[in-house]
């Protein structure tokens, strides 16, 4: 038994990031007489599971070997047959699992079947790491609501743009590269209509030496003010665009958008705004497991108020903009008293060039 093999399995699992959603990232290593005889990971949604990839790759008979796998092997017929059957037939002696599968179709059953077939099972090696890796999957498979990460980039004095809405660029190249990797990892990216009007962004993944996957673009636009020549409208062949609006939208405008290939999702209104909980539920029903929320301030505040945010990534650049007309990351009305603040738990601090990035989780989620 050796932790280094589970580390390797986690490293392999990570390679599936962005390609396997809404499935989990899973990695697997098969060890015999102290050496790795096979390894694999879940590469694309709908394709082979990690255990099957690893078993297909063995360079020696896996009989009496030990399997290290980051998630409990599945016991159900999904898009592929149960992994436990393959494991049992291979003659593997022991299976070491980082964490149980939260999928109610599997949870605990995979382990039970392995044990009933005389295979030794151990659970919990690097469990925290494995659960963090699959935080999106864990929320989505148990609630059917997408996991939401709020990302913002601001100066030391908490501004995301100047009074002229200039924001290019607040953070370093390394931070922006990190954000593009996040976009690849998440199934959807969500912004408010003001961001589209002011910045006209593409909201796609642009990474050197890596062909990332573009997220579905979700524009929160209660009155459907989106310009028909906005980049996110004009390049729908590149990435899907969904405009989330309300009955307050002009019907002829939504018709035009649909003709241009934009999907229009009408939600109930809350104080004249898009009902974000309804929207998240609908996105979940469409198979979207994760949303990267890239603000602005109005949408960010509504998102926090509606309790849809799970995690935050606040990038802070060592610059000062100043000015009471400069934009801030979370706007809206703000809470009345400090005791009403949204609290962030499990904070970690990361350094990206000269920037710092604070990561954490919204309390009571």
Q: Which residues are annotated as a binding site for substrate?
A: 167, 183, 203, 206, 294
User: 58, 30 in Cβ contact below 8 A?
Assistant: yes
Integer Cα distance of 337 and 314 in angstroms:
22
Q: How far from the centroid of its chain's Cα atoms is residue 84's Cα?
A: 27
Q: Which stretch binds ligand AOF (CB under 6 A): 70-78, 156-164, 224-232, 277-285?
A: 70-78
Residue 318 Cβ, how far from ligand AOF at the closest point, in Å?
A: 41
Binds 103, which of Zn ion, ligand AOF, none (CB < 5 to 8 A, cut-off by type)? ligand AOF
Neighbours of 91 (CB within 10 A): 12
Residues between 48 and 107 that touch Zn ion (CB under 5 A): 49, 74, 83
| Residue 24 within binding range of ligand AOF, rule CB under 6 A | yes
Query: Which of Zn ion, ligand AOF, none is residue 206 near (CB under 5 to 8 Å by kind)?
Result: none
Q: With contacts defined by CB under 5 A, how many residues of the chain interact with Zn ion?
A: 3
Query: Binding-site residue total for ligand AOF (CB under 6 A)?
Result: 18
Name which of 69 and 352 has its Cβ closer to ligand AOF. 69
Residue from the set 103, 195, 245, 246 that interacts with ligand AOF by CB under 6 A: 103
- What sign has the CA pseudo-torsion 225, 229, 235, 236? positive
Instruction: Indicate which of Zn ion, ligand AOF, none lies near residue 50 (CB less than 5 to 8 Å, by partner kind).
Output: ligand AOF
Per CB under 6 A, does 133 bind ligand AOF? no
Query: Which CB atom, from 47 or from 172, has the smaller least distance to ligand AOF?
Result: 47
Segment 173-212, which members bind ligand AOF (CB under 6 A)? Answer: none
Report the partner that residue 159 touches, choosing among ligand AOF, Zn ion, none (CB closer than 5 to 8 A by kind): none
| In the complex, minimum distance from the CB of residue 194 to Zn ion, in angstroms, rounded to a whole number | 44
Minimum CB distance to Zn ion, residue 86 (Å): 8
Does 23 bind ligand AOF (CB under 6 A)? Our answer is: yes
| Residues labelled as active-site residues | 51
Count how many residues are written for the chain: 365
Residue number of the CB atom closest to ligand AOF: 78
Q: Binder to ligand AOF among 101, 294, 331, 355 (CB under 6 A)? A: 101
User: Could you say whether residue 50 binds ligand AOF (CB under 6 A)?
Assistant: yes
Choice between 80 and 85, CB closer to ligand AOF? 80
Q: Which residue number, 83 or 291, has a Cβ lying nearer to ligand AOF?
A: 83
* CA dist 156 → 31, 119, 300, 341 (Å): 49, 55, 19, 20
Q: Identify residues 336-365 at the interface with Zn ion (CB under 5 A).
A: none
Minimum CB distance to ligand AOF smaller for 79 or for 363: 79
Strand-by-strand arrangement of the 290-293 sheet: 263-266, 241-245, 216-220, 188-192, 290-293, 147-155, 311-317, 355-362, 344-352
Of 57-65, 99-107, 201-209, 331-339, which segment contacts ligand AOF by CB under 6 A? Answer: 99-107
When the beta carbons of 138 and 352 are compared against Zn ion, the nearer one is 138
Six token digits for residue 339: 């005791």
Tell me which residues touch ligand AOF (CB under 6 A): 23-24, 26, 42, 49-51, 71, 73-74, 78-80, 83, 101, 103, 106, 141
Tell me which residues touch Zn ion (CB under 5 A): 49, 74, 83
């Amino acid at each position: 038994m050796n932790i280094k093999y589970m580390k390797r399995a986690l490293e392999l699992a990570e390679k599936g990031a962005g390609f396997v959603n809404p499935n989990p990232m899973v990695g697997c290593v098969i060890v015999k007489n102290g050496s790795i005889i096979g390894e694999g990971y879940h590469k694309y949604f709908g394709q082979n599971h990690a255990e099957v990839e690893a078993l297909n790759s063995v360079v020696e008979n896996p009989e009496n070997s030990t399997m290290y796998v980051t998630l409990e092997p599945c016991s159900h017929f999904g898009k592929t047959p149960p992994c436990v059957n393959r494991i049992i037939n291979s003659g593997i002696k022991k299976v070491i699992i980082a964490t149980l599968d939260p999928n109610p179709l599997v949870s605990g059953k995979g382990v039970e079947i392995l044990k009933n077939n005389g295979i030794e099972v151990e659970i919990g090696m690097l469990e925290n790491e494995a659960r963090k890796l699959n935080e999106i999957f864990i929320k989505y498979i148990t609630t059917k609501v997408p996991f939401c990460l709020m990302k913002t980039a601001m100066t030391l004095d908490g501004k995301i743009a100047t009074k002229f809405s200039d924001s290019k660029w607040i953070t370093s190249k390394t931070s922006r590269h990190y954000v593009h990797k996040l976009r690849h990892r998440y199934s959807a990216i969500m912004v408010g209509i003001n961001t589209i009007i002011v910045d006209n962004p593409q909201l796609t993944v642009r990474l050197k030496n890596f062909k990332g996957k573009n997220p579905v673009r979700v524009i929160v636009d209660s009155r459907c003010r989106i310009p028909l020549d906005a980049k996110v409208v004009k390049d729908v062949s590149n990435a899907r665009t969904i405009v989330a609006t309300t009955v307050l939208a002009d019907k002829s405008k939504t018709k035009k958008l649909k003709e241009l290939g934009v999907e229009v999702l009408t939600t109930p209104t809350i104080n004249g705004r898009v009902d974000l909980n309804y929207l998240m539920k609908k996105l979940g029903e469409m198979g979207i497991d994760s949303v990267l929320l890239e603000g602005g301030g109005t949408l960010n505040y509504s998102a926090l108020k509606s309790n849809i945010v799970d995690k935050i990534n606040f990038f802070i650049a060592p610059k000062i903009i100043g000015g009471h007309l400069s934009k801030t990351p979370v706007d809206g009305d703000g809470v009345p008293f400090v005791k009403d603040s949204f609290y962030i738990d499990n904070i970690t601090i990361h350094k990206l060039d000269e920037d710092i990035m604070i990561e954490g989780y919204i309390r009571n989620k």
